Amino acid sequence: MTPPEPGPSLLGRLARDAWPAVAPRAADELLTTITSTARRLLGAAACSIALLSADESELAYTASASGGRGDVRGLRLPADEGVAGWVVQSEQPIEVRDLSRDPRFSRESAERTGYVPDAILAVPVRTPRRLLGVLSVLDRDTGRPGAAHDLQLLGMIADVAALALETVASFDDLGRVLLVGLADAAADAEAGRALRAAARRLGPTDRDVARLAALFSELGRPGSRERRLALTVVEDVLADVRERRSPVP
């Protein structure tokens, strides 16, 4: 006996549940792991990552490892305020050994977290394309071996954070394109609605991404020769982008 075709409700459930099963760990979970690692390596009282808002007007503290010494998660500050704001404006790392003497330090903001530090290391979190935020370490152990190289080490950790953020963002962008494209091509209405709902959970889609999704959907209709041609064009564009991003030796 031939098994029954899967009904619309089953297709809808598959569309709704499949994407989260293959998605990478959420950005906030990755960043929390990174801040915990940085705090441990530098013997610091606290470590945090603040990300720039979409309009780059604010820093939103997304991840923090503090050991109970003031949790900054959820704190939002102007992107030009405090030591972190200075890092945003200059895109340069900084070490301040006595914050009480530094005019850039926002003591009022620190008091809101329940912990006022004495010293800070802060570095930009950035990709070759743009600045993403700031990684800060408070009151590190300056007496441990290798402490003289902490600013360099923190910069390397910031690069890992930037890579993690870009990976999650790229996966989400790809996910939106594929889910919207699948929704356009879905013959089953319930599956299409579930696919679009899954795409919305990954965040807003701009017009270019929506158009790209539609093109992917259309690519499913021509023959294999046309699809291979389209893939060749996309690969050539990406190769050109990678070449232009590569630093000149």
And the tokens for 60?
């939103």
pLDDT (0 to 100) of residue 2: 45
pLDDT (0 to 100) of residue 193: 64
pLDDT (0 to 100) of residue 12: 53
Closest CA to 193 of 16, 10, 5: 16
Going along the chain from its start, the domains and CATH numbers come out as 9-22+169-245 (no CATH), 27-168 (3.30.450.40)
pLDDT (0 to 100) of residue 3: 44
Task: With beta carbons less than 8 A apart as the criterion, state whether 45 and 136 touch.
Answer: no
Which residue numbers in the chain have pLDDT < 50? Answer: 1-9, 11, 19, 21-23, 248-249
pLDDT (0 to 100) of residue 216: 57
